[in-house]
Chains A and B, each alone.
Chain A
Amino acid sequence: MIVEIGAFSLVLALALSLVQAMLSAAARVKRSRVLAGAGEGAALAAFAGLALAFAALMYAFVTSDFSVANVAANSHSDKPLLYRIAGTWGSHEGSMLLWCLALTGCGAAVAGLGRGLPDGLKTLTVAVQGVLGVVFLAYTVLASNPFARLDAPPIEGRSLNPLLQDPALAFHPPMLYLGYVGLSVVFSFAVAALIEGRVDAAWARWVRPWTLVAWSALTVGITLGAFWAYYELGWGGWWFWDPVENASFMPWLVATALLHSAIVTEKRGALAGWSVFLALAAFTFSMLGAFLVRSGVLTSVHAFAVDPTRGALLLIILGVTAGAAFALFAWRAPALSPGGVFAPVSRESALVLNNILLAAATATVLLGTLYPLIREAATGEAISVGPPFFNLTFTPLMAALVILLPAGPLLAWKRGDARGVAQRLWVAVLIAFACGLAAFALVSPHKAFASAGIAMGAWLVVGAFVELAERTRAFRGPMTETWRRLIGLPRGAWGMTLAHLGLGVFVLGACFETGWKLESAEAIPIGGRLDVGAYQLVLDGVRGVEGPNYDAERGYLRATKADALVCEPRPERRFYPTGGQTTSEVAICTRGVSHLYVVLGERRPGPDGPVWLVRAYWNPWALLIFIGPAIMALGGLVSLSDRRLRMAVGAKEARA
């Protein structure tokens, strides 16, 4: 019965979304609070219905109810509980349900939390969310129903792809979807403001907290995905410029640009049109990211839930939704006011430069992802666009951004003092150069580009501290004064500093790891030795072990450095009989912020008994690659907790 209750709740949520859209739109036309309140009630009810539906599907997965087609296709009774739960969103149908849950959740959040918003803006936002809900729920119910039942349930399910049976990946899709769909609120706000004809500083303030939530979730989601690729795919890479990665990266780039342009709009009333454009683009890229891959139009190593027919339907939905929104933009944008003026050297200019570079980066990623399709459609010639292209185009853009970044927060609004900023930053310049030179001179082999990257990372990190020192007048007054200022700093300022610091940490890790990673592979017998960097690995033995739903060979290794035992890696090579797949379970020894990364490969016959292909990597500073974005996301959350932003969402302002 529970499954059918879920199916009914899903359909009920669709009907409620329709009611939400219609009542809210009518409320705006008639300027009626009663209708607006009813629309908000419908938004809350739709979310409740979807939450119930999602819980019902999860129940079906947990109890292995194979009479549900989706469970039969994606689960197995042998699977551990965590992955039975994660199976709920591991398929096309389930992930669409998660998408809809997040979407109605956002609608309900606006309805429930947006009491400080003007009636017109809020009601229209709820209406647009309702329309989005209707579109995606209709798709889910009619073309991708997760509750479809089987008359003759199979004895066992077909199991979830073993690569997806991983803790990081179990939580990667929910975070990513929260980010993707969180941007739908920003989109709805933009559409609502365009209809109202009021895109101003206040709008920018209202839209900022929603952008921050979505951006933080996206940051965490993308990082989890990269981390998963790093330790599950088993070759130590973490970013491949793969279409799926690009698809999640583009909304992040746009959301980052929006966070910065919205500041200009909020403080100076300028760039209003551009901010609205970014708000529309962010969710458009989210939809593009979520659906392009599923449509099977692009190929990817991470592709999941591919279904060309339904994918095409999703692309049509994307085209109509985004097309309508941008048409509205083209009609309304010319009427927006240009806002305040600013000098070429100013905070505004810096933020605009940031946006130009981020926009160019987004365009690069978009074109790099789609160009093969375009070129093939136009000329019939197939070409590939891979990592070398992005290294040559995206990296210089980011380098320019990184070089400019520490100066931005030090510049005054309207008219900045270039010389003053230079005076404050010379310490950072010096330290950055010293770090770069040290990296070049001390780390062998000598690598110029990687050393330059280290200099840039140091530049960002030191720049963040200089900015903090500047705000608190550190080293220029009494300590107590500095402390008082430090305490008094708004959370928003802390958030920005943390985010910039996190980027610096990431750059340090990424450059060091990419520049000086070491690889070593040998086919060794029991007792054999493999050297990687300063470490020696000895294969003590290989034993068969049995997991809950897999059989594995586990390698017992010892890693030593200068004859001192460092750690005992236990890499595994797992075989999942239900799907007939083999995966490798990497062993990672963390040494400070660096990783010794060991992979057990296949067994081969050797001259004296079997040998195993063992691969080992020394990934220096690899941990920073994942800590950096975590600091950035933390910055986003700290910003969000700023009193001033909470005001924008909460009720106090309305009563003021």
Chain B
Amino acid sequence: MIAFWVVAGVLSAAAAGLILQNAARAAHRAGSVDPTSAVYRRQLREIDDLAGRGLIADEERKSAHAEAARRLLSAADAAAPPWTAQTQYRRPVLVAALLAPFAALGLYLAVGAPGLPDQPFRGRIAAWRALDPAMLTAPQMAAVLKALIAERGPDAEAYGFLAKAEIAAENPSGAIRALRRAIELAPQRVDLWEGLGEVLMIEAGGEVTPPAQRAFAEALKRDPASVISRFHLARGRIAAGDRDGGLADWKALASELPQSDPRRAAVEAAIAQAQGAPPAATGDMAAIRGMVEGLAARLEASPEDPQGWVRLVRSYAVLGMDSERDTALAKARARYADRPEIVKALEIAAKTAPMGKVAP
């Protein structure tokens, strides 16, 4: 604040100084003659010069010379007396030089924001990093993670977290970019490929687009048992019109899953839905709900799966099931209270906006 006023004062003084200095210099400059006649004298010399080099004919030279000479004569007649350099106007100059900064100050106080510090992006990120991560919003978290990655070099894990933060920040395209980078670094990680497929789906409003299919296929290549990939690929087949093929895949998937696996129930629910009604948005919704219920049941059975908890919380958030989300969040928090990065991921997941907002 003080620095600002000092700089503003220096600037004002410099401006006033420039005005006064120029005024003083002008007062000392000798009174010059009217330069107009000098221009015409030069014109006369030019005409002679051109004629001397043979560039204009003699006749032309004569008439051009006469014309320029007449201009010179009339300029000499009209020559204004030189201006005064008297110092009687020093006072108005001084007043003006001093008034300008004050006028500027008055206007600045009306339109400016004195004392408001700069907020460069880097500085804000540094401030966020100093905060408790739980206090950060998802976009802030994403910005912090990006800065971290830039600082510490690329790292699949960090990109994975960034992807989650981006999803929470309703920026699926950012999440996709982050996941692609993560996959470049760790192409063998099935969960990244699955995540990429899911985000691509979210971006496409729930549709299993060809890029999403490719991502799921990559996941399957690395882990033929990838349930998520098989489930969505089959869903894509149904949506594309191959209802029987998709249902057959789902049935095969269900039969391979052990009875105790809660995901089996979810797949079966989806099959029932699909058989009951033609594949539509509501059908997809029900299938997703089924999946989420399956996930919840599985975590109930074997709770040692942090990523599973994060996914569950996010799923509830996406589905708009707020009370379930809060219960799951509380449970997971209690479980992983000693692991802040998981708590952070859970917080982010919980802040995910409901589906309607993500994919309008």
Chain A residues with a Cβ under 8 A of chain B: 1-5, 7-9, 11-12, 14-16, 18-19, 22-23, 26-27, 30-38, 40-42, 44-45, 48-49, 52, 60, 63-67, 77, 116-120, 141-142, 145, 147, 149, 153, 155-156, 198, 200-202, 205-206, 267-269, 340, 412-414, 471, 485, 488, 546, 551, 577, 644, 647-648, 653-656
A19 and B86 contacting across the interface, CB-CB below 8 Å: no
B12 touches A118 (CB 8 A): no
Taking a contact as CB atoms under 8 Å apart, the answer to whether A32 and B71 are in contact is: no
A71 to chain B, nearest CB (A): 10
| CB pairs A–B below 8 angstroms (29 shown) | A4-B113, A4-B114, A5-B7, A7-B111, A7-B112, A8-B8, A8-B11, A12-B101, A15-B99, A15-B101, A27-B83, A32-B85, A33-B26, A34-B23, A34-B27, A34-B89, A37-B22, A38-B26, A48-B15, A65-B120, A117-B35, A118-B36, A118-B80, A119-B80, A141-B111, A198-B36, A546-B180, A654-B38, A655-B32
Measured between beta carbons, the chain B residues less than 8 angstroms from A18 are 100, 103
Residue of A35, A42, A198 near B89 (CB, 8 A) is: A35
What residues of B have a CB within 8 angstroms of the CB of A116 in the complex?
A: 35, 38
Given known A-B contacts A15-B103, A65-B118, A118-B80, A5 and B89 have beta carbons under 8 A apart: no
**CB neighbours of A26 from chain B (8 A):** 89, 92
Give the chain B neighbours of A485 by CB distance below 8 A: 53
Name which of B137-145, B243-251, B266-274, B300-308 contacts chain A: B137-145
- Cβ < 8 Å to A, chain B residues 1-45: 3-4, 7-8, 11-12, 14-15, 18-27, 29, 31-32, 34-36, 38-43
**How far is B97's CA from A206's CA once the two chains are assembled, in angstroms?**
30
Is there an interface contact between B120 and A32, defined as CB atoms closer than 8 Å?
no
Q: A34-B89, A64-B120 are in contact. Are A11 and B40 (CB under 8 A)?
A: no
Q: Is B78 an interface residue (CB 8 A)?
A: yes
CB distance from B153 to the nearest CB of A (A): 17
In the complex, the answer to whether A577 meets B174 with C-beta atoms within 8 Å is yes
The reply to whether B93 and A269 form a contact with Cβ atoms under 8 Å apart is: no
A484 (CB) vs chain B CBs: closest residue: B53
Which of A41, A52, A66, A655 has the most chain B CB atoms inside 10 A of its CB?
A: A41
Chain B residues with CB under 8 Å of A37's CB are 22-27, 29
The interface residues of chain B lying within 8 Å CB-to-CB of A19 are 19, 96-97, 99-100
Contact between A205 and B39, CB atoms less than 8 A apart: yes
Contacts of A268 in B (CB 8 A): 67
**A-B CB proximity, top 5 nearest:** A37-B26, A41-B22, A577-B173, A63-B120, A64-B121
Residue total for B at the interface (Cβ-Cβ under 8 A): 85
Bound: A648/B23 CA distance, A: 23
Chain A residues whose C-beta falls within 8 Å of the C-beta of B113 in the assembled complex: 4, 7, 149
Tell whether B356 is near chain A: CB-to-CB under 8 Å: no
Is B177 a contact of A546 with CB atoms below 8 Å?
Answer: yes
Q: Which residues of B contact A34 (CB under 8 A)?
A: 23, 26-27, 85-87, 89-90, 93
Residues of B within 8 A of A35 (CB): 23, 89, 92-93
4 additional A-B residue pairs with CB within 8 Å, beyond A35-B92, A35-B93: A30-B89, A37-B22, A48-B14, A546-B177
What separation, in Å, do the CA atoms of A149 and B103 have in the docked complex? 21
| Chain A CB within 8 A of B131 CB | no
Collect the chain A residues with CB atoms within 8 Å of residue B60's CB.
412-414
Answer yes or no: B115 CB below 8 A from chain A CBs. yes
Choose one: B4, B27, B171; the contact of A4 (CB below 8 Å).
B4
Contact A141 B107 (CB under 8 A): yes
A41 touching B100 in the complex, CB below 8 Å, given contacts A14-B107, A141-B107, A269-B67: no
Using known A-B contacts A37-B27, A546-B180, determine if residue A145 contacts B93 with beta carbons closer than 8 Å.
no
> Is B75 close to A, CB under 8 A?
yes
What 0/1 pattern do residues 185 to 210 of B give for CB contact below 8 A with A? 00000000000000000000000000
CA distance A187 to B84 in the complex (A): 27
Secondary structure of the A contact surface, majority rule: helix
Cβ 8 A contact of A63, one of B8, B85, B104, B122 = B122
* Residue contact A11 to B111, C-beta cutoff 8 Å: yes
Which of B35, B85, B139 interacts with A118 by CB under 8 Å? B35
For A9, the chain B residues whose CB sits under 8 A away are: 11
User: With A and B bound together, what is the CA distance between A63 and B117 in angstroms?
Assistant: 13
Q: B20 near A15 (CB under 8 angstroms)?
A: no
Contacts of A32 in B (CB 8 A): 83-86, 88-89
Bound CA–CA A112/B120 (angstroms) = 36
Whose C-beta in chain B lies nearest to the C-beta of A153? B119
- Judging by beta carbons under 8 Å apart, are B140 and A155 in contact? yes
Over the window 123-144 of chain B, the binary record of Cβ atoms lying under 8 Å from chain A Cβ atoms (1 yes, 0 no) is: 0100000000000010110010
B112–A4 contact, CB under 8 A?
yes
Contact A1 B19 (CB under 8 A): no
Q: Given A15-B100, A38-B23, answer yes or no on A201-B111 (Cβ-Cβ < 8 Å).
A: no
Minimal beta-carbon separation of A338 from chain B (angstroms): 13
Contacts of A145 in B (CB 8 A): 111
Rounded to whole Å, the gap between the CB of A486 and the closest CB of chain B is 12
Q: Which residue of B lies closest to A266 (CB)?
A: B43
Q: Bound complex: CA of A202 vs CA of B75, how far in Å?
A: 10
Determine the chain A residues whose CB is within 8 A of the CB of B157 once the complex forms.
none
- State the CA gap A67–B123 with chains docked (Å): 12
Tell me, in angstroms, the Cα distance from A40 to B27 when the chains sit together: 13
Name A147's contact: one of B40, B112, B119 (CB within 8 Å). Answer: B112
Given known pairs A8-B108, A35-B93, A149-B113, the reply for A201 and B71 (CB within 8 Å) is yes
Q: Is B334 an interface residue (CB 8 A)?
A: no
Residue of A with least CB distance to B43: A201
Q: Given the complex, which residues of A lie within 8 Å of B115, measured CB to CB?
A: 4
* Least distance between A42 CB and chain B CB atoms (Å): 5
Q: Which residues of B contact A49 (CB under 8 A)?
A: 11, 15
B residues near A41, Cβ cutoff 8 Å: 18-23
Q: Please give, as numbers and ranges, the residues of chain A lying within 8 Å of B46 by CB-CB distance.
A: 644
B277 within 8 A of A: no
Q: Are B22 and A155 in contact (CB under 8 A)?
A: no
Q: Is the CB of B100 within 8 A of A12?
A: yes
- Contact (Cβ within 8 A) B118 A2: yes
Tell me the nearest residue of chain A to B174, going by C-beta. A577
Chain B residues near A30 (CB, 8 Å)?
A: 84, 89
User: Known: A1-B3, A38-B93, A63-B118. Contact between A45 and B15, CB under 8 A?
Assistant: yes
Residues of A within 8 A of B117 (CB): 1
Asked whether A63 and B121 contact (CB < 8 A) given A34-B87, A147-B112, the answer is yes
Contact check, B93 vs A12: say whether CB atoms are below 8 A apart.
Answer: no
Contact of B139 among A16, A67, A155, A654 (CB under 8 A): A155
* Cβ A202 vs Cβ B121 within 8 A: no
When the two chains form their complex, are residues A77 and B121 in contact, meaning their CB atoms are under 8 A apart? yes
Most buried by A among B38, B46, B80: B38
Given A23-B96, A269-B67, residue A45 in contact with residue B34 (CB < 8 A):
no
Query: Once the chains are docked, how many angstroms separate the CA of A11 from the CA of B43?
Result: 45
Residues of B55-110 whose CB lies within 8 A of A: 55-57, 60, 63-64, 67, 71, 75, 78, 80, 82-90, 92-93, 96-97, 99-101, 103-104, 107-108
